[in-house]
Each structure stands twice: as C-alpha cells, then as structure tokens.
Structure 1
Amino acid sequence: MPRFSKQDPRMQELDPEEVEQTAPDEHTRLLPNRLDSDRGLLAPDDPAVSPYNLWSIRFLQYLTIAFTLATFVWWILLLVSSFATPPGFQTRGSGFLSFGYASLTLANMLFTLLFFGVPAKAVRLLSIFMSAILVLDMILVLSVQKTRYEEGWVGAVSVIWALLMSLWTLMTDHIVKWGKAEEEERLTGRAETRRTLLEWSSVMLSTVAYAIMSVALFLITLNIILRALDAAVPPPGKLHWVDSNKYRVHVYCHGNTSDAVPTVLFEGGASTVEHQLWDFAENGLKNGSFPRYCFVDRPGFGWSDTAPSPSSAGFVVDAVSEALAKAGEKGPWVLASGGIGSIYSRVFSSRHGDTVKGLVLIDPLHEDLLNEVGASGRGFLLWLRGILSPLGLDRVPGAIFRGRTSRDRVYGRAAWQSGKYILAQLQESLVAGSFTRRDVEASRGIQNKDTPLVVISSGSHIKSSGRWERKQRDLTKLTDNLRSWDIVDFAPHEVWSTFEGREKMEQRLKQLVHA
C-alpha cells in the first residue's frame, strides 16, 4: 500500500479507521521486527537499521556503563589518596602509577561508550597493542620485588583492571561490528561498507584517542623498566619499620661510636641528603672534623618509603626518631641541616632536649616563609608533575640521552624526577602553612635555650632579599647560646656547593663536636 500523509487530499477520501491503520506509527516505522509488514527490505540509512536492535548489544552497552562507573569510583579514591590516604589505601611508593592506570582505564571506557555504535579496525588493533603492553606491565609490577612492594595491592588491582578493560574494549568493538553487519544483512539485504561523514569523524577521533593512550602506556612501560633496574641499587644503611610497621625509613651511620663525642646528624633541604651532603660528610670524617655522622632519609626521599598523607614536620620527626632508636643510635647529636631541612632539625632538637649538643643551620628557612612552600599554585604544579611522573618524560630521555644512572635517579641529581620524591614534596606543601608551621612554632617555645647555635647564611641570598636577611637574623635568636652567624659571600642557597661554604661548615661543626 502506498504511504500517504494525513494532509494529502487522497487521505481525506479514505475512511478514518483506514487512515489510522495506514499512517506509520512507532511499531511500523522504527521497530525492526516487521513480520506483519509487506514493505520488504529497508534502506541502509533507515534509523531502524541499528545494532542496538539486538538485546545482546544493548546488554553489552549496559555492562560497559557499569564498568565505567566502577572505574570512576576507583579513580576518585586514588585521586583523594594523593591528599589524604583512605584506610587501607596506603602505598609505599607514590601511588601516581596506580592513578595513571586508573586515568587511562577511565578514558578507555569513556571512549568506548562515546563511539560504541561505530566499530573501527584501527581501534581493535590499538586495543590489541595496549593489551599486550599491559600484560608486560602487569608482569613487571608483580614480578619485581621492589615495584610490587612499593605499589602494593592498589597498584596490582589498577594494572589488572586496566588490562581487563582493554580486553573488554577489544571484545566489545568486535561484537558490535558483528551485530551491525548482522542487522544490516537482515534488514537491508547486505552489510553496509559505506560510512557517513559523522561515522568517519568518529573513527578518526577514536583512532587518535587510542593512539595517544597507546603512546602513554608505552612510556609508562619504559619508566617501569627503569624502576626495575634502579631496584638493584642497595641502600648504604638499613631500613627500619616505623609508625606501627606502616612504612620503612632508611638510616645510615659511619664512623666510630663514642658516648663522649657527639655524632653529627645531617638533614638535607629540598633534595636528598645523599645528593647534598654525603660527600661533605665523608670529607669531614676523613679530615677528623667529627668522628661519626648519620643521616636519615625523610619519608619519600632516597630509599625511604612514603608516609601516609597528611604528613607534617612533626610526623616526619617522629618517624626519624623511631628509626634512629631502632637502629640503636641514641646520640648525643650535633644537628646540621640546610634550607627547609632546618625546620625538621628544629623540631627534632626541641623534642630531644639534652641529647642535642649543637645546632648548625645552613641558610635555614624561617617558619614565616612556610606559606610560600604551601602556596596553592606550587601545590597544583607538584600534583600535576606527580600525575605525569609515570610517563617518565624526564627520566626516560635522561637515561637514554644524558647518561643518568640508577644512582642518579635513586638519590642523585635526577632524584627529583621520581614519583616518591614528588609526593613527598606535595605532602610537605599541603601542610606547610598549617600543621608544619604549628609544629615549628611550638618547637621554638620548648627549645633548650642553652643549646649552642651556629647560623651560616648565603651571601647571595641575603644581598638579593632584605626579607631573607631579617629572617636569618631572627633565627640567630633561637637559643641564648649563639656561637656565630657567618655570611658566606657569593655562596648560593646551597652554601656547601662552594669551597668557602664547605670550609666554614666544617670549621663550625668541628668546634661544636669537640667543644
């Protein structure tokens, strides 16, 4: 029967009941099961020609939505854990690798839903590549003791889930392709080989998206391989469990033990103490300036594990004190620290009373400047660096083209590129203006006023900032026993990087140790 509209004059000549039967409705126009229709095959562009007609395809889509929601919840939990660790979600590494896998998995699922009805061969090929890379990642994460220990169950679940969802995408695209061809053959008589402009655009966008994700996974794999190689570098000291066996802290001591002569306890600034002060400590020991020295890696630095968030100066000092006690190191101490490390040394000094026989602060950071450390912009950049750190955008080229070694990456000049270090810096930034400032201000009130104090300042820093000079002067009043305030001309913030700075530091340490 020919199809007429209700406005057609010929329709007006028909009986009203016949008109209602003739006019297309939802059943005759859109549903594919037209067993009662004599219209024959449909046009390829008819909206009724769709893989969604099959219940299996619709069920597959609902499952994909459920998996996407589960991935989103996991992604949120990992995002929160960077700032405040939920119970049971602590990792002894950075946690950024797990977040990276969760982000890639979430992107994969969203693109799968977005281009669900437009299967593409390029997407299937890239999904096969991603699945193969994820199998290799899973093997590396689970088989290498160091990465398995640092990533924990959170990292294992993240990489396994990423692999399963990659395989799900591959299966989904293949089944939708089959369903689309099946419906086209049933309703139009042949499988459609043409694509509309919208479909071609969808294929191009999905291919580009999966190509970017494939490159990201390849870079992550290279970075994991570097981490596996770095695991072969042994710590010079020992690792001790702290905070109810939640994580380990590295302690290293060298020299002759004496109850009469203090041990120098070094604390680094914004970098690892090994990179900044280890060579200086060894030279001082050889020159006889002090008979013994120790250093402790703050959580997240060097060989130490990361601590749960939040982690203020008070928490860090408690962990350092516990690790020293378990290592059998009871002092007495002369503390030597630079930059922001002086914040931790001051809190340590106030909590250990008579065991601290001297305090050497090297261009120290004043508590009034902690707000700059905790600035929101700095915190955001650290977080951004953290989520990009699994890609190894600086570590991989450094290893290939710049000759960076495993020791460089663990504690040397490239240590700042590791996810653990970035997380430790982020934790420091998040609480610098609140908990840490409260800890250091409280330490000032209970500091033993008889403790000998030496302040060594950067001449270049003081000349460039009057505010820095005023804060350095204020720090000379921490105790009533100031031995000297030395300003090393032309020395940068890292005073030990110049010969004059090292000479002055060694001289002052020798005086305090042998006083």
Structure 2
Amino acid sequence: MVTLGNSSNKDIQDVERDGQSSHDREADERTSLLHEHRPPPNRDGYLDPDDPAVSPYNLWTVRVLRYLTLFFFLLNFVWWVLLLVSIFVSPPGLHTRGSGFFDFAFVTLTGGNLLVALLFFAEPSKAMRSLLGVVSFILLVDVIIIVSVTKVRQEEGPVGIASVVWTCVVALWCIGTDNVVASAKKEEEERLTGREETRRTLKQWLEVLFGTIILSVFVVIAVLMTGTLIIRARDASLEMSGERYRVDGGKFSVHLACVGNVTHKDGKRVPTILLESGENPSEAAFEPWLYSTLNNKTIHRYCYWDRPGYAWSDNAPSPHSAGMSARILSETLARAGEEGPWVLVSAGYGSIVSRIFASIHMHEVLGLLLVDPLHEDLLHRVGAPRRGFLLWAHGIISPLGLYRIPGALFNGRTREDRVYGVSAYQGGKLIKARLQENLVADSLTKNDIGSARAILDKKTPVVVVTSGIEAKTDRDWEKKQQDLSTISRNLVDWTVVNKAPHEVWQTFEGREAMEKGLKALMAATKPSK
C-alpha cells in the first residue's frame, strides 16, 4: 500500500477552503510538487482531474522507483555495449564458449522492457502488466533450460546465465513498479479529486496502446527464443565420434576424432590423414568420403577435427585467425596423444589452416591434398565488410530461430542437419566462427599464410584438385589455383574436375579425382620411423 502522508483529505480540504498557505501544514512527500503548482480548487474543495498536480509523481516512492528504473536502464546499456564489443573482441572474463548472441539478445530484451517502463511510467495498465507476466514466465523457463542442460549451460557460461537471470528479474521489477504506480495514481486521484479517474485522454489511450503492442512483440520474441533454446537442448543429446579437448588454457573445447589403426610398413609408420574442412563442418560429406577411402584400403587411418565454432567445437575468443586455428589443432593433437607423420587433406578456407599447420610441423607433414583451396590473395573476399555485416546481422537474429524452428516443425530437419548438416549455417556458433574469419581474413590470417608460404618445405608433395565450375565462372579463381600448384616444387598432380562445384566431393567425378590424387600422394610420401 502506498503511504498517503500525514495529512488527511479533510485536512487538505480545510486548508484549501481557508486559503491558507501550503507551508502552514506539516511537510510530507508531496509537498515539493504541490508548492510548484498550487491551482485553485473547485467549489467542493477538490482539484480538476485534468490538473497537472494530480499525478502519481507526488509520491517520493514513485519518483524513487522511476530513478531506480532509469539507473537499471543505464546499467543494462553498459552491459549491452560490453556484450556487443565481445562479439568482435573478447574482453577478459566475458568470453563464452557459445556464440554470445543469446546473451546479447537477452540483454537487448531487458533494455526494451526498461525503455517501455520509462516511456509509459505514469500510465500503468493491466494489459501491460499481464504481458510482462507472460514474458517473465517464459524467461523463467529459459533459465531452467540453460541451467539444467549441461552442454547449453557450458556454452552460455556465467555470462549467459547472468544475462537471462537479469532479464527475468528486470521483467518482474517492471511488473512491481507498474503496480505501485497504478496504486499511487488511484490514491492521488481520490485524495485530490475526490474519486478514482476511470477515463483516459486520447494521448493516454495511445500510450497504453503503443506500450501493449510493443510488449506483445516482446512476448513473441521470448517465445521464439525459448523455442530455439529447446532445439539447442535437443541437439545437445546428439552423440559424436571422438572426444572434446579443453584448449587455450581451458577457455574452450574442440572436437577431434580418429578412425582406423596405426599401421607400419617396412618398419616405418604409415602417415595418418589429417582432414581440415572448408566452409562447412567436415562431417557433412567431406569426412564420409574419407571413410570410403579407408574402406577401399587407400588409407589406413585418418583424423578429423572441428575448427572452433564448427559442429561439436566451442567458439574461441575473438579475434580468431587461421593461424590461431592451426595452433589450436597442434595443441589438440598433443592432448589427444596423436602423433605424425601426417598427410593433410583440406578444402576451401581450411586449406589456409592446413598450409599454416604444415609450416609449423614441416618435418611431420609429408604431403598436402588441396581441394579447390582458397588462395591468400582472395582472402579479401572472406573479409569483405558487407559479408561481415550480413554475418553479424544474421547472428543477432539467430536466437529467434526464424529458420530453425520452421525447419524442425515443418521441414523435417534433424539434429544431424542442425549440428553439422544442411542447416548448420543457421546456428549461432557457426555464424560467429565465420564472422571471426571475416574480421581478420585480410589482416592476421593473411600475415599468417604469407609467412607459412615462405616457410613451407618446397620438397613437400602437393596435389591440387580444382572445381571446374569455379574455374570457368571466376577467372581470378582459376589463376590462383594455378599459383597454388607452385607452392612446392614437388607437384604430384593438378586436376580440374569440369562438372564439380566448390565442394568437389559432392559429385562422383570429384570424389574419384580426390581419391586418385590421394593415392598418388600416399605413393609419393616416405613413411618415417
């Protein structure tokens, strides 16, 4: 109940009828406002309902609540800016193993709730309180999902958990504040006008209407975010081959799997194939092709991993370059107890990572198979500002699940599709990984690969398999493929597969050419002791 002060309605009426100054009565929390506006009362001693003095702001309680709401809004804005910055550069303590887009979305929703509360503070509404109650309940469900599902909890971390709890608490705060203002408004109207005002002006109706519409949108947003969280919880149950290893001082984990047995020939260890995916997770189709070569006895053993943000791997702190990925791969292999020699098989952007890895481990890398590889001179395409903005925008709306929810409900998309398959590109983690690649492609990554090209042993056997479609439609791509065939003096083979797309393994002819190149490469390598 809101305190009415020490003066009763009768006392106020007596003071007004006698024409006494408001200074003659004991000061209370309304005094300062009544001093500023002292309108003449009606004949019955009450003020007109439209008089500016009839306001819930007469109470210190209401004014303090408004100041606190404003303070929370400013505090939330600072937190919002920090989370926005952390997408591009991770401040100490703010890195999450997930994409960070969910944290940002929750804090954005908090800012929206507080802004609505401030804009329509003096016009409380049951409809708005009801909608805020729905938002609070949905957010409570989000808290339960994040805390109870281990993988989601690990990805969101303390930052994500704090963000969703903060959003839930603020929604409850807005409900409580609106209730207090409604009670104060009623009591001030009864005290100063003699009755509770039931009518609203057109301006007041419009304020309530706009507030209700905005909060209705917030309800829809909260429902969509919860749907996406449910899908994430479902996907977390998908089993994987291999293991996840904590790297970079335990900041995040990456996935590594090895298939086949260590084999020796003539007393020497046969090289293990190390697979590096292109622009999509290798599990989608690249790794299954390599598994078929294992069954064909072309190779005896291979390992594959997911770069940070891909498939089962966590996101790395920002910024993250191809050189950093190569060093993380080195650490992961060491933690898994895997040893060379290696033959590297890579595609697209992954070829940049493989070439850097080869320069770091020159004596352990016995050959490279580059499948329609990206040339360092074309990294500016990966780092194009427009591409970066679109990735960022796509990431910001990814918590809404605008593609994933319909895909799961109506298009039969499975967990496999979302984790590493055709729908993987819609997930926040992969979007964040691609954004990280974009941000440093033409700077850190270009420097890394420039050094790697100079360092690479020029006797290393190399096979290049090029997409004929890409070569025919992009003259620069064709020229750069030819240049990549010269990174070593020991070019074993360069094949252009005429009808193959960028992901060459998607066609039978492409898979044949790749297996043929891999056989030639294995024959050209010399196993180590």
Normalising by structure 2, we get a TM-score of 0.90
Q: Distance in 2 between matches of 1:32 and 1:122?
A: 34
Instruction: Tell me which amino acid in the other structure corresponds to 1:478.
Output: I
Please state if 1:130 is matched with 2:135: yes
Structure 2 residue 216 is matched with structure 1 residue 207: no
Secondary structure of the corresponding residue to residue 492 of structure 2 = strand
Alpha-carbon distance in 2 for matches of 1:144, 1:82: 24
- Among 188, 195, 200, the residue aligned to 1:195: 200
Residue 276 of structure 1 deviates from its aligned partner by 3.1
Note the alpha carbon deviations across 1:121-140, whole angstroms, 9 max, x for none.
Answer: 11111011001101111011
Distance apart, 1:29 and its partner CA = 7.8
1:394 partner amino acid = Y
Aligned to 2:372: 363
Is 1:442 matched with 2:451? Answer: yes
**Which residue identity is paired with 1:179?**
A
What is the match of residue 86 of structure 2? 81
Q: Which amino acid aligns with 1:237?
A: G
Is 1:412 aligned to 2:421, yes or no?
A: yes
Q: Distance in 2 between matches of 1:346 and 1:216?
A: 44
Q: Is the 8 A contact 1:461 1:492 kept in 2?
A: yes
Give the Cα separation in 1 of the matches to 2:168 and 2:199: 32
1:489 equivalent in structure 2: 498
Equivalent residue number for residue 3 of structure 1: none
- CA deviations on 1:238-280 (whole Å, 9 max, x unpaired) are 1111111111111101011135211111111110011131210
Show the counterpart of 1:6.
none
1:31, distance to aligned residue in structure 2 (A): 3.7
Equivalent residue letter for 2:510:
G
Candidates 157, 166, 173, aligned match of 1:161: 166
2:101 is aligned to 96
Alignment partners' CA distance in 2, 1:389 and 1:69:
26
For 1:247, the equivalent position in structure 2 comes to 252
Instruction: Assess if the C-alpha contact under 8 Å between 2:255 and 2:313 holds in 1.
Output: yes
- Map of 2:67 onto structure 1: 62
Verify: 1:455 aligned to 2:455, yes or no.
Answer: no
CA separation of 1:262/1:32 partners in 2, compared to 1, >3 Å: closer, same or farther?
A: farther
Change (3 A) 1:28 1:92: closer
Matched, 1:276 2:285: yes
Q: How does 1:332-351 map to 2 (within 5 A)?
A: 332-351=341-360
- Using the alignment, how far apart are the partners of 2:231 and 2:308 within structure 1? 21
Aligned AA (1:183):
E
Q: Give the equivalent residue in structure 2 for 1:325.
A: 334
Which one of the candidate residues 104, 108, 111 is aligned to 1:106? 111
Q: Is 1:358–1:452's contact at 8 Å kept on the other side of the alignment?
A: yes
The within-5 A match list for 1:23-42 is 30-31=36-37, 40-42=45-47
Give 3-state SS (helix, strand or coil) of 2:479's partner.
helix
User: Does the 8 Å CA contact 2:262/2:269 hold for their aligned counterparts?
Assistant: no
SS of the residue corresponding to residue 514 of structure 1 reads: helix
Q: Any conservation in 2 of the 1:251–1:294 contact (CA below 8 Å)?
A: yes
Residues 323-379 of structure 1 deviation map (CA, whole Å, 9 limit, x = unaligned): 011111111111111111111111111111021111111111111111111111111
- Cα offsets for 1:383-415 (capped at 9, x unmatched): 111111111111111111111111111111111
Do 2:342 and 2:366's aligned partners in 1 also have CA atoms closer than 8 Å?
yes
Look up the equivalent residue of 2:306 and give its one-letter code.
D
Q: Report whether the alignment pairs 1:401 with 2:410.
A: yes
Deviations 1:163-219 (A, max 9, x none): 110001111111111111111111111111111111111111101110111100001
**How many Å separate the matches in 2 of 1:309 and 1:28?**
56
SS of residue paired to 2:488:
coil
Matches within 5 A, 1:16-27: none
CA distance in 1, matches of 2:249, 2:38: 65
Q: Does 1:376 align with 2:385?
A: yes
What amino acid is the match of 2:90?
T
CA distance in 2, matches of 1:93, 1:273: 20
After superposition, where does 1:500-515 map in structure 2 within 5 Å?
A: 500-515=509-524
1:228 and 2:216 aligned: no
**3-state SS of 1:82 partner:** helix
- CA 1:28–1:216 in structure 2 vs 1: closer, same or farther (change >3 Å)? closer
Unmatched 5+ stretches in structure 1: 1-20
Please tell me the residue identity of whatever aligns with 1:303.
Answer: W
* CA distance in 1 between partners of 2:103 and 2:34 (Å): 51
* CA distance in 2: counterparts of 1:361 and 1:512, whole angstroms: 11
Q: Find the aligned partners of 1:27 and 1:442 in 2 and give their Cα distance.
A: 72
Q: Cα deviation per residue 1:288-335 (whole Å; 9 max; x = unaligned)?
A: 111111111100101111111000111111101110111111111111
- Secondary structure, aligned partner of 1:309: coil
Does the aligned pair in 2 maintain the 1:30–1:47 contact within 8 Å? no
Structure 1 contact 29–48 (Cα < 8 Å) conserved: no
Cα distance between partner residues in 2 of 1:347 and 1:320 = 11
**Contact conserved, 1:261 with 1:514, CA < 8 A, in 2?**
no
**Cα deviation 1:458-500 (Å, max 9, x = unaligned):** 1111111111111111111101101111000111111111101
Q: Which amino acid aligns with 1:214?
A: V
Contact map agreement 2:146 2:152 (CA 8 A) in 1: yes
The aligned residue for residue 184 of structure 1 is 189
Q: Give the letter aligned to residue 316 of structure 1.
A: S
Aligned to 1:261: 270
CA RMSD of aligned residues (A): 1.7
Q: Is the 8 A contact 2:33 2:53 kept in 1?
A: no
Structure 2 SS opposite 1:353: coil
Offset at residue 32 of structure 1 (A): 6.4
CA distance in structure 2 between the aligned counterparts of 1:183 and 1:340, rounded to whole angstroms: 68
The aligned counterpart of 1:477 is 486
Change (3 A) 1:430 1:27: closer
| Counterpart pick for 1:387 among 378, 385, 396 | 396
- Contact 1:449 1:478 (8 Å CA) reproduced: yes
Aligned with 1:292 (options 297, 301, 306) = 301
8 Å Cα contact 1:289/1:507 also seen in 2? no
